[in-house]
């Protein structure tokens, strides 16, 4: 296979077009972030990387909190809009028909239209270059009951999630396998992971 060598670039794909909400329930803002992911299991840690020039940067830095809301097929237009318009002069929630919901552990609002959100509390801000990374602990996970089956298992395939790759949005398509299928013995059934909500800290733990 012939290859070309390009200069370094951010071409990891696909990535989630995550809707990040910040500010407050009364004055919410949202932006779309592709540079996000999970960095630790225990404690559950995530990150988002932002340019300091973005309006949301100061909102998150000052409050120490944000929420990552998963983007569904129905939310793709809102995700695109929130990624190209600034909250300095635009009420993105109003224009996109989004509604701010109250989070359980942080001051940042949730996006009510998203079926799953991670409540995040900033632990460190790491300057990297064009972007700065907000390293954060996931202090609560908000899951719509429509994604939980009768046995209490999380069925994330019901959410109709979207992905982003090289400037384009895609709906997640055909299932190709499940974790561990390459080493699973023939005839042995896959164990279905059950969603067990972690015990959330109380508000007295300090909301920033």
pLDDT band at 186 (very low <50, low <70, confident <90, very high): confident
In this predicted structure, the answer to whether residue 43 has a pLDDT above a threshold of 50 is yes
In terms of pLDDT, which residue wins out, 203 or 35? 35
pLDDT band at 205 (very low <50, low <70, confident <90, very high): very low
pLDDT of residue 206: 35
pLDDT of residue 193: 54
In this predicted structure, the answer to whether residue 67 has a pLDDT above a threshold of 60 is yes
Cβ-proximal residues to 74 (8 Å cutoff; 6+ apart), any chain: 113, 160
Helix (H, G, I), strand (E, B) or coil at 49: strand
In whole angstroms, what is the distance from residue 110 CA to residue 142 CA? 9
In whole angstroms, what is the distance from residue 16 CA to residue 35 CA? 8
pLDDT of residue 5: 95
Radius of gyration over every alpha carbon of the chain, rounded to an integer in angstroms:
18
Q: Look at 1-5, 82-86, 128-132, 186-190 and tell me which has the smallest mean pLDDT.
A: 186-190
> Which superfamily, per CATH, for 18-197?
Electron Transport, Fmn-binding Protein; Chain A (2.30.110.10)
Cβ-proximal residues to 73 (8 Å cutoff; 6+ apart), any chain: 160, 161, 162, 171
Q: pLDDT tens, 30-40?
A: 999 999 999 99
pLDDT band at 76 (very low <50, low <70, confident <90, very high): very high
Cβ-proximal residues to 80 (8 Å cutoff; 6+ apart), any chain: 17, 32, 169
Q: pLDDT tens, 191-202?
A: 555 555 555 544
In whole angstroms, what is the distance from residue 161 CA to residue 187 CA? 30
pLDDT of residue 199: 54
In whole angstroms, what is the distance from residue 11 CA to residue 129 CA? 17
Q: Are 19 and 174 in contact (CB under 8 A)?
A: no
Q: How many other CB atoms are found less than 10 A from the CB of residue 100? A: 21
């Amino acid at each position: 296979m012939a290859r070309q060598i390009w200069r370094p670039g951010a071409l990891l794909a696909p990535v989630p077009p995550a809707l990040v909400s910040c500010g407050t329930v009364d004055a919410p803002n949202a932006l779309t972030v592709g540079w996000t992911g999970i960095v630790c299991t225990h404690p559950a840690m995530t990150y988002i990387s932002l340019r300091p020039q973005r309006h949301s940067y100061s909102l998150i830095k000052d409050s120490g909190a944000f929420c990552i809301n998963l983007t569904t097929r129905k939310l793709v237009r809102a995700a695109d809009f929130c990624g190209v318009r600034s909250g300095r002069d635009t009420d993105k929630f109003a224009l996109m028909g989004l509604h701010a919901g109250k989070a359980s552990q942080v001051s940042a609002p949730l996006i009510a239209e998203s079926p799953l959100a991670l409540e995040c509390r900033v632990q460190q801000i790491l300057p990297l270059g064009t972007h700065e990374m907000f390293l954060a602990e996931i202090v609560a996970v908000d899951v719509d009951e429509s994604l939980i089956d009768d046995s209490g298992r999380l069925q994330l395939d019901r959410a109709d999630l979207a992905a982003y790759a090289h400037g384009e949005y895609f709906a997640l398509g055909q299932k190709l396998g499940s974790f561990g299928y390459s080493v699973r013995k023939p005839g042995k059934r896959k164990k279905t992971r059950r969603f067990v909500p972690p015990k959330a800290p109380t508000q007295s733990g300090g909301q920033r």
